[in-house]
């Protein structure tokens, strides 16, 4: 590059000063943008943590409710098992009664036949 005879050293120095000021302003703007971004990310992170904590608390409450329901269902299941056992016992007794009735009916048939002769 050739020298420009019309440009003085003072003008060159002024150009560098202007360039330095422009660079500082640009860096300051970039720094400000990064600060805003960091603030946004921090707020986003805090909000996300708060929301997760709220969700976690809700899940804990639901888990407690489910546990209580499971206890109740276990009690109901135990009661149903006992009732089922009682029904089985009653069915066995009814079967015995039916068998005895069949025997009595057979005997009565035999008695009626003997009486009819």
Look at residue 3 in the predicted model and tell me its pLDDT. 64
Cα separation values, 5 from 8, 9, 11, Å: 7, 10, 12
Q: Evaluate if residue 12 carries a pLDDT over 80.
A: no
Report the pLDDT averaged over residues 80-103. 97
Other beta carbons within 10 Å of 102: 10
What value does the mean pLDDT of the chain take? 90
Percent helix, strand and coil across the chain, each to the nearest 5: 90, 0, 10
What is the average per-residue pLDDT within 13-25? 74
Question: How many Cα atoms occupy the beta-carbon half-sphere of 6 within 13 Å?
Answer: 0
pTM attached to this predicted model: 0.51
Residue showing tokens 């003008």: 11
Beta-strand (E) ranges in the chain? none
Report pLDDT digits (tens) over 27-51: 888 888 999 999 999 999 999 999 9
């Amino acid at each position: 590059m050739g020298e420009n005879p019309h440009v003085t050293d003072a003008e060159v120095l002024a150009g560098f000063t202007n360039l330095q000021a422009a660079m500082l302003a640009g860096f300051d703007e970039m720094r400000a943008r990064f600060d805003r971004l960091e603030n946004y990310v921090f707020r986003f992170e805090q909000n996300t943590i708060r929301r997760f904590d709220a969700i976690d608390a809700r899940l804990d409450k639901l888990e407690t409710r489910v546990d209580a329901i499971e206890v109740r269902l276990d009690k109901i299941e135990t009661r149903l098992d006992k009732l089922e056992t009682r029904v089985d016992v009653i069915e066995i007794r009814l079967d015995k009664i039916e068998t005895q009735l069949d025997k009595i009916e057979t005997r009565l048939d035999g008695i009626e036949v003997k009486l009819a002769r």
